[in-house]
Structure 1
Amino acid sequence: MIRVAVVDDEALVRSGLELILNSADDIEVVATATGFEAVGKIRDTHPAVVLLDIRMPDVDGLTVLSTLRALPETPVVAMLTTFDADEYILAALRSGAAGFLLKDTEPDQLTQSVRTLAAGGVVLSPRASLTLLNARSDSTGDSVLLLERLTDRERDVLMLLAEGLSNASVGARLHLSTGTVKDHVSTILTKLGVGTRVQAALVAQRAGLLRDRNDPGDDG
């Protein structure tokens, strides 16, 4: 079972997400909390994945994220966002969030996103991703130059990572061991000068790596 905690200041949102997630056979919501309650409940229940609202009136999500990142057992944290939370999305990315989900995400997509996060993958809602890309649109050229540091194999790994695949799934696709993929990911993060898989995925998106892959006229 994938243990999940939901943190949001609105009781209706918490209960709605809990109902959706608990309907999946492989997911269990072990805690729901406001921002003020979050850290204590997460310490007590040890969830693997935390869905964390970015903006809350008592203790904001960025503060909670920073505290969670310092815990000995760090859960995977995906931020719950609204369309107008651009500056908060950017700050959460810099603070190590593993993904971004909109609160109106479809139920099936929500449960699949939790599975992806638990497996070590990246989750970026299309609108949250667009926000980040637009905010850094002037850095496309820099991203292309960063990708030139990667070997062909590292670019292959990065493309799959940017699609949200876990290390195990990347390994299965490329016929590599999970350990080898993990080593590649570590090297990719170092070469790109980023700290998380999400940041690496955004570099790939800004540089057009995924677009190039899907281009039928691309022979490479």
Structure 2
Amino acid sequence: MIRVVVVDDEALVRSGFQLILQAAGDIDVVATATGGTAMAEIARHSPEVVLLDIRMPDVDGLTILRQLRALPDPPVVAMLTTFDSDEYIAAALREGAAGFLLKDTDPQQLAGLVRNLAGGGIVLSHKVIRSVVDGYLDGGATPAAAGRVARLTAREREVLTLVADGLSNSDIGIRLHLSVGTIKDHVSSILTKLKVTSRIQAALLAQQAGLFRGN
């Protein structure tokens, strides 16, 4: 079972996500929380995935994201919002979010997106990619992105391309006929060589270097 905590200031949103995900069978929403109770609930339940509203009146999502990323073994975090402002998207990605979901995401896709997050994949809607990628790269990456990518081995570039396509570790392993452990080792090496802290930041550098195949 994939353990999930949903954090949102609106009770209807929390209950809606909980109902949709619990129906999947392999996902357990172990808690829902507001911004003020989020860290306590996450500490209590140790979820693999946190779906986190970026704008909340008590404690905002970016503050919680920073706190989660500082943990020794942080959960995977995807930001939830009705807003697609470049400012908020870029800030969440720079803080290490693994994805950014608009709240109008198709409910039928939600469980699959959570599975992908839990498996090490990234989730970033194409609408968000189009709105943020240029601004994010201008502010968070150097013009030498292609040079950074050139430091990678041929296999690492192949893995990076699949990471940029949003594939999970297991899916990449199947595609390349490699074990999940080997893929994890490659991803760790890629992040170190690219001097980034998350898969999604690596994917955006891949976009700048011309490796990204998504659209």
State TM-score, norm by structure 2. Answer: 0.91
- Seen in structure 2, the aligned counterparts of structure 1 residues 54 and 188 have a Cα distance that, compared at 3 Å, is same
Deviating more after overlay: 78-87 vs 148-157: 78-87
Pairing 1:153–2:169 present: no
CA distance in 2, matches of 1:94, 1:136: 8
Q: Distance in 1 between matches of 2:73 and 2:96?
A: 15
Q: 1:48 is aligned with what amino acid?
A: E
Tell me what 1:105 maps to. 105
Which residue in the other structure is 2:89 paired with?
Answer: 89
Residues 20-74 of structure 1 show CA distances to partners (whole Å, capped at 9, x for unaligned) of 1111111111111110011111111221110001111100001111112233442
Unmatched runs of 5 consecutive residues or more in structure 1: 215-220
- Contact 2:137 2:205 survives alignment (8 Å): no
CA deviation string 1:77-102 (max 9, x = no partner) = 11112334321221221211111111
* TM-score normalised to structure 1 length: 0.89
The DSSP-based 3-state class of the residue aligned with 1:159 is: helix
Cα offset, 1:162, TM superposition: 1.1
The structure with the largest alpha-carbon Rg is 1
> How many residues are paired up?
213
How big is the shift at 1:180? 2.1
Alpha carbons 2:159, 2:172 under 8 Å: kept = yes
Structure-to-structure mapping, 1:181-220, within 5 angstroms: 181-211=183-213
Bigger mean CA deviation after superposition, 40-49 or 138-147: 138-147
Percent identical across equivalent pairs?
65
* CA shift for structure 1 position 148: 1.7
Name the structure 2 match of 1:118.
118
* Offset from partner CA, 1:170-216 (integer Å, 9 cap, x none): 122112222222221111112211111110011112222134x99xx
CA distance in structure 1 between the aligned counterparts of 2:184 and 2:114, rounded to whole angstroms:
21
Q: Secondary structure at the match of 1:19?
A: helix
The answer to whether the 8 Å contact 2:203/2:212 transfers is: no
Structure 2: segments with no counterpart, 5+ residues: none
**Partner SS, residue 36 of structure 2:** helix
- Letter of the aligned partner of 1:75 in structure 2? P
Match of 2:62 in 1: 62
Q: For residues 84 and 161 of structure 2, what CA distance do their matches in structure 1 show?
A: 28
Tell me the C-alpha RMSD between the 2 structures: 2.0
Helix, strand or coil at the partner of 1:35? coil
Query: Residues 186 and 29 (structure 1 numbering): CA distance in 2 closer, same or farther, change over 3 Å?
Result: same
Code of the residue aligned with 2:42 in structure 1: it is I
